[in-house]
Structure 1
Amino acid sequence: MPAPRRPWKPFTARSCCTVDNRLVLGNLSLNLSRCRPTRPDFSKKVAEPPSFRRISISDLSSSSSARFNEEFARAFGAGLYAFQLSELKAITHDFSNSYLLGEGGFGTVHKGYLDDRMRPGLKAQAVAVKLLDIEGLQGHREWLAEVIFLGHLRHPHLVKLIGYCCEDEERLLVYEFMPRGSLENHLFKMSVLSWGTRMKIATGAARGLAFLHGAEKPIIYRDFKTSNILLDSDFSAKLSDFGLAKMGPSGEETHVSTRVMGTQGYAAPEYVMTGHLTTKNDVYSFGVVLLELLTGRRSVDESRPKKEEKLVEWSEPYLRNSRKLRCIMDPKLAGHYSFRCAREAAALALRCISPHPKDRPKMSEVVTVLQGLRSSFREKTS
């Protein structure tokens, strides 16, 4: 009788962890200190991060063992809990399909419930457990990137990473549970989002990006799209999935050169053509999402006529002529929106998707504009 199918695919960490971590660190370009952790103690929360200096390739010698992945995560996943695989299997009922929240090329996400007795200081709460399919380098990269970035970043509009699991061949991440799911599901598959809710979501997501870009060394999110914007019970937006995030240019550098990654329809044209990465690439992606909120259309929709497949190309003439704007507004809104606010939001989206990166606004400016639109809309409806 064949062995029961595992809900994840195997990954031979022993054979490739050294190469993987070299490439991961090259991709992240982080200033990290040498990792010299003690033996894991699963009863405790991960210690505070060590001091920072640039880690060199010599730190990742060929003698690195499979434990390196876990040790690296423990050293740099500040404030995170290290969970055992058996614990995460228990809280998700062995990754049962009845607890499945979603799946894709990254692996699967299951709902679970943490008990406050599992760790000192741990809050009893619902969580989302991402079980990564890391058969290959990219999955490992994304797991490690999320531990590093979300282990250090805390903001009301970034999803909170609670902990991780690095056990044998498995890589898992444990996030706060976002009860309303993704913006993608609400905008394209579920009930109608009101104009006020759309502006609230846009403002929250913009604040998250502005926070990343405003760091001492900016962080480029690189995968801003509706499926990565999660919503809490009050429709407050939080950015999730930092697997493709990358440190931005520093000093006199104008950009970071990297392999083109991301999602078709959201990636800035200059990034697709050259691989040159800047914060203005994220601004372009934000403009695309703002267009989706205005029109109710996907960034790329091959089910539509050829001239309407690409949202940016199709909508641009309407955005430049305010008298035509009503023609592209989401019909689900049924006219229940402020036309003045819609016109200003459309003008903002047009600036964000400019083919010239220098003409795009900073995300801090985008936040200011959206906050003003929300305030004026609330005053009008009060």
Structure 2
Amino acid sequence: MKRIAILGSTGSIGTQTLDVIAHNTEQYQVEALAGGYNISLLAEQARIFRPKVVSVATKALAEELSQAVPEGTKVYHGEGGLLEAAAGTEADFVVTALVGSQGLRPTLAAIEAGKDIGLANKETLVTAGHLVTEQIKRRGVRVLPIDSEHSAIFQCLNGEQMKDVRKITLTASGGSFRDRTRKELEHVTVQEALQHPNWSMGAKITIDSATMVNKGLEVIEAYWLFGKPYSQIEVLIHPESIIHSFVEFADYSIIAQLGNPDMRVPIQYALTYPDRLPTPSQPLNLAQIGKLHFREMDYERFPCLKMAFESGQAGGTATTVFNAANEAAVDLFLKGQIRFLQIEDIIADALDKHETIAAPSLEQILEADQWARKMACARF
């Protein structure tokens, strides 16, 4: 039986992870759940899965939640609570599904505690890839990707030699506005931006998909996960989201991973690797789909993706600033304080003004993160 901790259990990935676990209860024991502010859902999850530890955002919420969880479940809060859920239980596998850079410290703590990681928090590698990969090697833990694109690449590389890889291609749906011109984006609303055509995701990730920031973060994550230079990582628009990503080898053969757009499949693969079990998903019917479509990425149409490649190639704190400025800008957009296209302006301005530190310490990374957030919000 695998013992699981889930950081971000009330979010999209967290709830789908628990759905996978509920279909194979004999395989898993839930040791810890960490949510944010949705204590009614977290309380329900605690009653069903009976973890030893739960954590919420604030002390007040923790006091309220403590009245609703099963006897024997300890309630924590804040960053200390996240660290306890990540590293303080007998869990041997930690699903990191927190949104944004708040996932960095708990992920590092889980790795330091010798726990394998199911990585759905791409910002951890984007923000501090060199520190995370060094710690993974030192502690000898496994990191299994949960993002559908990185899970696809991981599966395509099974049994292959990295020296034979010519190119890694991440596919992108194109997001909510893939068929709109830049002129048509000038006055789009938050509600329009949140209408993703293929995937059901949280608000922040859905906005990131519309700007293509999410794909940029995935490019940077792929760099750290698979050790290939940015010149060998490409992005292709694939509106149906059936081919989740693919790998081209030295002989020009291509291996791709296909499936319906259902995150429960890559989640379960991370939990059961190297084994495969039936999932609560539906089988893919290619005859019914009939056709798949592809088009080249337009970096003028999606400048945030271009900035992601540039910050990744710059390295160091550049990717930290890219991520933090975006998080702050998306928050402003969701609150109605800026227009959609101003997200990319804010990121560009922060990157322009930042002096990159090549091999930053954790303290320098956190300082760069806070600097970028202040820069992003300075005009609003």
Same fold (TM over 0.5): no
Higher helix share: 2
Between structure 1 and structure 2, the one with the greater Rg is: 1
The two structures have a TM-score, normalised by structure 1, of 0.27
Relative contact order, higher structure (CA 8 A, sep 6+) = 2
